[in-house]
Amino acid sequence: MCGICCVVNLSASSQCVLQKHVREKLQNRGPHSSRDITETASRYSCLFSSHVLHMRGVLTPQPLQDDDGNTLLWNGEVFGGLPVGAEENDTKVVIQHLSLCKNPSDLLSVLSQVKGPWSFIYYSKVNQCIWFGRDFFGRRSLLWSCGSEEGSFTLTSVSSRLPDSDSSKWLEVPAVGVYRLDLKSCSQGGKLKLELYPWVYLGDEPSNDFSSEGLPSSVSLVMNNAGLQLNFPVNPMNTSIQAVDSNDEPNHTFSLTSSDDLKEFLLKSTKKQELVRSLIDVLSEAVRRRVQSLPYTDNVSPTETPKSDEAQVAILFSGGIDSMILAVLADRHIPPDKPIDLLNVAFKLQERKMNQGSKKKQHKNKNNGEHVNVSVNDITSSDQRTSNCFDVPDRITGRAGLQELKKISSSRKWNFVEINVTQEELKEMREKRICHLVHPLDTVLDDSIGCAVWFAARGTGIVSEGAEEKDHTSNAKVVLTGIGADEQLAGYSRHRVRFKNSGLEGLVKELAMELGRISSRNLGRDDRIIGDHGKEARFPYLDEDVVSFLNSLPVWEKADLSLPRGIGEKLLLRLAAVELGLGPSAVLPKRAMQFGSRIAKLENNHEKASDKCNRLVTS
């Protein structure tokens, strides 16, 4: 993970300045090397500023320049697509490929080959233009702003929320394509012209569905006139809603309620078994790519070699099925003597709200008529520490999940890091750091998730060893998150509503829409939040091969929403979980992080998740 930034000024006479508060945030993302390069031509000047987090290989400072003076700022990981040797650095590999490009279409072809998350800024000196953008999912953040002065333009991984009086306005760069800023033509007219090169599925017409909304009038965003485009590195979604072969129809003769039922169901269908194994294979490989090639596997820089008893990989861990599967698969690929940190965040419940909370919960379960035998309440009652104010639902399922993991892999050291956050600390850190990172997103939901993920990823908590509680801070630079599973496998309750009201057709549309907007809803924000700790967020469920595999399946193979909660949604993943040896966690219903961690309970109960959050506004 790196912090990258570029400030363009269309009058060479005025200096490009990177504001101090932005630089600080960039440095948090890239603590190991910082460098600025200024390029001045007759009519413009550019400041390129890169802050590098060293992940593997030899530290490669950025901005990186080739012999012709082309400059690359790369905030990404090449996990495939372009060959990167074990000792090679991906930033170098990318610039080598870009240097060879003779025209825009060469450059687009390089970018669409890359598998892995990225955002980048590339200054082509000969052509006097700047290319920039985010991968097709927007797994890395990039913001743009057109400063208050005419003719200035800034790109940055992260910025900060300023009092409303400040006129510079930040927006996430839409992950709909890559952009080209022509400095020559700009400087003549004093207006900025941005060309868009859109992401499309092979063979599709590019849609004209982009807008320059929010961009000031001094910038014009246009589709590139050569009609060039980038090919999506994944298969399009299978929108089929009717099985051709009746053998493929969902079979409702089973009533599935427990993980044992799922096991039995799986045994009876060889076709399902095949699918489940394919899913496990592709997901396992995605996890492998994200947990290997870390500092401990190639100790090139001895001063930085991590202590051998420290985990190199951490998982945002609620004990729910998405994070459990990541843990089981990570266990396969991480050397057996290395610990794995499971980061579990809880916000303090006040006494009054605690009682309310548990009453409500029981009430709900009765009314839902759920048949699923494992519920939070069952686990709670068998747990001694019921009265603890940090015993939020995710803490309880997290502990249960830990027990399951210990059964599956008993020799592994699992550090279950209990991260307890008080209201005071939440308030302090939200004002100091988190509100800036969430920016420019601004809803109640962004606030809740942003804060929960920030504290979880910081990894400061306690680990119990026997009866002893020890302070523990996770220093793992790689943080795996389960995001993307619900969007692809119909895990949210709104999917049920959609299915009920408009059937499979409605469900397919909903899933396609959600996958399309995941960059602007979640990924940029989560990248900024996790990156702030000098750690790198990695999303195995959004690996290109995983997405391609899931997209190729018709929706009824992924979920069966006629089955009860805890079973029907993400059905295929639940089957994969039992195949991997998981038990009760395989049938836990989805609980959104803001409720599981109870952060949403701390705040005003009458807010809607989509409301603008006034706690994020600084004065």
Cβ of residue 213: shortest distance to ligand NAG, in angstroms? 33
Q: Which is nearer to ligand NAG, 570 or 598 (CB)?
A: 598
Residue 385 as a binder of ligand NAG (CB under 6 A): the answer is yes
CA gap 612, 443 in Å, rounded: 4
Closest CA to 447 of 434, 428, 459, 457: 434
User: Using the rule CB under 6 A, which residue among 240, 301, 460, 548 binds ligand NAG?
Assistant: 240
Residue 258 as a binder of ligand NAG (CB under 6 A): the answer is yes
The β-bridge partners of 82 are none
CA gap 460, 474 in Å, rounded: 6
Residue 533 as a binder of ligand NAG (CB under 6 A): the answer is no
CA gap 114, 21 in Å, rounded: 32
Residue 381 as a binder of ligand NAG (CB under 6 A): the answer is no
Q: Which is nearer to ligand NAG, 4 or 183 (CB)?
A: 4
User: Using the rule CB under 6 A, which residue among 109, 388, 403, 423 binds ligand NAG?
Assistant: 388
**CB of 264 within 8 A of CB of 586?**
no
CA gap 53, 538 in Å, rounded: 14
Residue 415 as a binder of ligand NAG (CB under 6 A): the answer is no
Is 2 a catalytic site residue?
Answer: yes
CA gap 458, 447 in Å, rounded: 16
The β-bridge partners of 134 are 119
User: Using the rule CB under 6 A, which residue among 135, 172, 195, 418 binds ligand NAG?
Assistant: 418
For 495-545, the DSSP string reads HHHHHHHHHHHHHHHHHHHHHHTHIIIIIHHHHHHHHTTT-EEE-GGG-HH
Matching residue, tokens 């219903």: 589
Residue 91 as a binder of ligand NAG (CB under 6 A): the answer is yes
Q: Which is nearer to ligand NAG, 253 or 501 (CB)?
A: 253
Question: Per the structure block, which two tokens stand in for 357?
Answer: 């909370």
Residues 427-486 that bind ligand NAG (CB under 6 A): 462, 469
Cβ of residue 210: shortest distance to ligand NAG, in angstroms? 26
Q: Which is nearer to ligand NAG, 53 or 563 (CB)?
A: 53
As a 3-state breakdown, the chain gives helix, strand, coil percent values, each rounded to 5, of: 40, 20, 40
Cβ of residue 38: shortest distance to ligand NAG, in angstroms? 21
Q: Which is nearer to ligand NAG, 223 or 241 (CB)?
A: 241
Task: Convert residues 264-283 into a mask of x (bound to ligand NAG by CB under 6 A) and - (unbound).
Answer: ----x---------------
- For residue 65, what is the enclosing H or E element? strand 64-65
Contact region with ligand NAG (CB under 6 A), list: 51-59, 151-159, 479-487, 519-527: 51-59
Residues in the chain, total: 619
Q: Which residues bind ligand NAG (CB under 6 A)?
A: 52-57, 59-60, 84, 89-91, 238, 240, 243-244, 247-249, 251, 253, 257-258, 268, 346, 371, 373, 385, 388, 390-391, 395, 418, 420, 462, 469, 552, 554
Active-site positions read: 2
